[in-house]
Structure 1
């Protein structure tokens, strides 16, 4: 009797376990992400220099000048010449992937543009006369960043550096128009020039990401994006000057401005081991744009209003950076 009872209990237990196995939910799938790590603690320095070959670009009123004649007018794109600049960089690396980095980007290039068409002021008439002119433009740009960054590895092939800090920018665009004037005006003025100068300087927070994908242990594809919001002062000065020394017309304005900016780069990096560290050979293409940073005097039937313009730079870069 005891034997039969024991067999019955064992049979019921096996049946219950089998039923539970048949009707229980399957185990949930698991996903194992790639490792996200920071470098081991280290103290290093790096120094870098890049050559920049860039072209300035504007928007709105400052991006155009009139062409043609009084009765047959059209808009000419202001297309400044390409010019050289440079970027200097220095960093101190410490702890587990942290760094303090200072960078300085400098650009200064002149352009000679023609022919354009526009008004100049004649004091004897107390009015504007139309005329053709040649334009000389000097674009100057300085950008200084002081930031703190954190390096992060995403698996074996991908890494990124997140950074934030302060940015200072100084933008100056000075334009001089040399007019072709009639003999009657030439006799009284000995020539007419117009100075149309604008600038912006400001400071504010900046954040960004440097990204790299290692194709080989030495060669990587790189990308960067950054953004800032600067608070500063924007100014405009437009003056018609006769070569006899008379300032016939002078417009000046200054205002506080909030100017956002964006920056992006796409390039490549080759790391070459040297006796005292690593030498990185860099190259790529970059764009920088400051929104509504500049002012301009806009003429509408010889009435003068203020317009705003972006300031941008774009072009290739190449350079070297030593880490050790």
Structure 2
């Protein structure tokens, strides 16, 4: 009897130990694959509706308050083309262009002659041209997630031109009165590596959520040129110039939706979303446009919606 009881206890303990050590269902990760070998091409165009924003140093003295210039929303575009080869590899070129003109009034600032403080109106122009040449690799993560990793080179040309128009003032060197204007210009041209990733999640076979993130490091020249001019005789009353080689980090982010319409000879993709672009410390400025202030670095950024289409066809 004792032997039977002992064997029963040992058997129960062994079965309990075996149960405690048993693992649950084993999760199998999704497969990461590349597309089958194919030769394809695509062409696309996007309309951009963006607004420019500068860093905090680029301020203006407004009547009764300190304020920065609110640039107008304006249209730009992004054109792109790619050649796809092998198993998901591609070479891609894209060009982003944006420009905006803004006119504002209600500001007050300094002038180099009496009365030294004067109201003014302002014309503000800015422009961005960005060109990327990159190589990419497409991968499928499971059935609904797709990713594209890419890297290459980026060129950026940023220009801002600001002109203040002041009422007529007495100019001692001329012994007469003349309207005064202030030119306040800064630009950056740089070139460097860019890395990024495109991501899409298929909600249905035709409809997907898309995201993009990219970063670049550009080396180039940032210039600043400012001065006061007596308009009647184009006499420069004072001027400041600065040029410096700098390294500018930049980033770009997008979040959007894509609809793919399959056609007999290819696929037409309709896409739209929201994007942000920022170049850190790319431009130069003097706070409140005061020639006695030090020259500081300031950011240049763009943000707003985009929409467009891209056609993918067989080579």
Inter-CA distance 57–191: structure 2 relative to 1 (3 Å threshold): same
Distance in 1, matches of 2:289 and 2:199, equals 47
What are the ranges of 5 or more consecutive residues in structure 2 without an aligned counterpart?
1-9
Partner of 1:191: 179
Partner of 1:144: 131
Contact 2:92 2:133 in 1 (8 A): yes
Residue 74 of structure 1 and its aligned partner are, at CA, apart by 2.1
Confirm whether residue 323 of structure 1 aligns to residue 309 of structure 2.
Answer: no
Secondary structure of residue in 1 paired with 2:57: helix
Distance in 2, matches of 1:167 and 1:300, equals 31
Secondary structure of residue in 1 paired with 2:143: coil
Confirm whether residue 26 of structure 1 aligns to residue 21 of structure 2.
Answer: yes
2:95 aligned to which of 97, 104, 107: 104
Inter-CA distance 267–301: structure 2 relative to 1 (3 Å threshold): closer
Partner of 1:313: 302
- TM-score, with length taken from structure 2: 0.89
Partner of 1:298: 287
Partner of 1:61: 57
Instruction: Kindly report structure 1 stretches of 4+ aligned residues shifted beyond 4 Å.
Output: 16-25, 182-187, 299-302
Inter-CA distance 115–61: structure 2 relative to 1 (3 Å threshold): same
Correspondence list, 1:242-261, <5 A: 242-243=230-231, 244-261=233-250
Higher CA-based Rg: 1
Residue 17 of structure 1 and its aligned partner are, at CA, apart by 10
Contact 2:216 2:249 in 1 (8 A): yes
2:269 aligned to which of 273, 276, 280: 280
Distance in 2, matches of 1:300 and 1:169, equals 25
Residue 298 of structure 1 and its aligned partner are, at CA, apart by 2.9
Partner of 2:145: 158
Confirm whether residue 232 of structure 1 aligns to residue 220 of structure 2.
Answer: yes
Partner of 2:84: 93
Partner of 2:196: 208
Residue 181 of structure 1 and its aligned partner are, at CA, apart by 3.6
Partner of 1:3: none
Residue 312 of structure 1 and its aligned partner are, at CA, apart by 0.4
Residue 180 of structure 1 and its aligned partner are, at CA, apart by 2.2
Give the root-mean-square deviation of aligned CA atoms. 2.4
Secondary structure of residue in 2 paired with 1:39: coil
What are the ranges of 5 or more consecutive residues in structure 1 without an aligned counterpart?
1-15
Contact 2:121 2:166 in 1 (8 A): yes
Distance in 2, matches of 1:309 and 1:315, equals 20
Inter-CA distance 249–300: structure 2 relative to 1 (3 Å threshold): closer
Residue 26 of structure 1 and its aligned partner are, at CA, apart by 3.2
Distance in 2, matches of 1:134 and 1:173, equals 17
Contact 1:227 1:262 in 2 (8 A): yes
Distance in 2, matches of 1:299 and 1:81, equals 20
Partner of 2:69: 78
Secondary structure of residue in 2 paired with 1:121: coil
- 1:218-252 residue CA offsets vs partner (Å, 9 max, x unmatched): 11111111111111110000011111111111110
- 1:275-306 residue CA offsets vs partner (Å, 9 max, x unmatched): 32011011111110111111012369862310
Inter-CA distance 31–117: structure 2 relative to 1 (3 Å threshold): same
